A and B are shown apart, each in its own frame.
Chain A
């Protein structure tokens, strides 16, 4: 981004950097993993892949449980986490997310419990399907959570972030499936991961293209490194999955690689938002340009 004509108050930030810690990108990964796993599990369940469905349901239950811990841990006043349930506000993605998670979490836990105990198959089916329908909401609302802020890199990316996050979630869930079941049972997981990774790559390239100079926080510094490593891992995992996804070594290797890629994407996006808030140029320059477009003479 050009530095010319850019003025600031002693180079200090205009907007505040998020106070959220590593709990939040961890949750972005785990929540995405859980949500997409539940959706794929429903598909696997309905198409007669009980081994894959069971593994994904257990993964979703574990990931969403850890998510809850991370979310409460990040609060400034942890004992008041329940205050999230005082209101329902459509203007607050965190409020909507709270209610999505409140609906989804018991269903994901129930689906896993029914799958493991193999009791009450009808109730298990109902929990599996409803968790599978909630899953995509869990996986994609987090993009709105970040987009609805004043952090320039998050807000500017609000069009592509939902697709980036949905793709990243499918990548992770497909990876989990490959890791958790016998290679012969992982066909659906491989296809899901391939579709997810393709979506993730497409959304990211769209994001970089549309933002232009404003995409700099995604390409430089720690965020840039994380995004680069994530991209390499995504491509590598994708290649292994397609070429050797049904082999005893290839399946878990591709699965782990894709899950790591998904996690790094989330940490990369998180860091890009932090970096863009720290540097006043990402706030001032686009706003100045906007004013110049409206009032060319000033």
Chain B
């Protein structure tokens, strides 16, 4: 692989033979893909397939063993600090500080991501208005229902207008109606040109992505639109596609 290869200008994430080994265990095995601006990119795979390891490398949190990747035009080896400034991240497990108020959480994250202090207050009011959370401005985050927390956490993750937002199982355990509202927020963000990189265990949500990858044993075994994947695997829905591919996993679960 030639590291001087030019990065396609319209691609926000470019991954070339990215590999991560832990001892003699290959967690991520020569993965290659590109993600376009404003795309909703679904990153699926069984537990232990290597999704989290791959995501950590793309966020600049873990050094690859070999291969290359550029995120928002920055090299993940040399420019990981620049990457961190132009991405947002949220997961089911870590999102907001429970003992801070709603507005305090927003101010904290906005500050960390370098939003100018003067702009934070009016942007906060605007955000709470859009979410219909005006009354909860002074509420402690721990008093909010889970679905609200997740919607707020997502909004906070894109508050600084990142180029890419990484979502790690953002809707786990959320009620069905709120799960759908959450996806409407994802669509809005994508319409604004934010690229969305999302993992989920809900296969109906895989259908909402522009393209979907399915990782098996550290490799990318499928990458296409949900429609093409279903045609190719002669499957009724994405769950069947997933079951067919993930059943091929040989790796003994660690």
Answer yes or no: do A and B interact.
Answer: no
Q: Residues on B close to A: CB < 8 A?
A: none
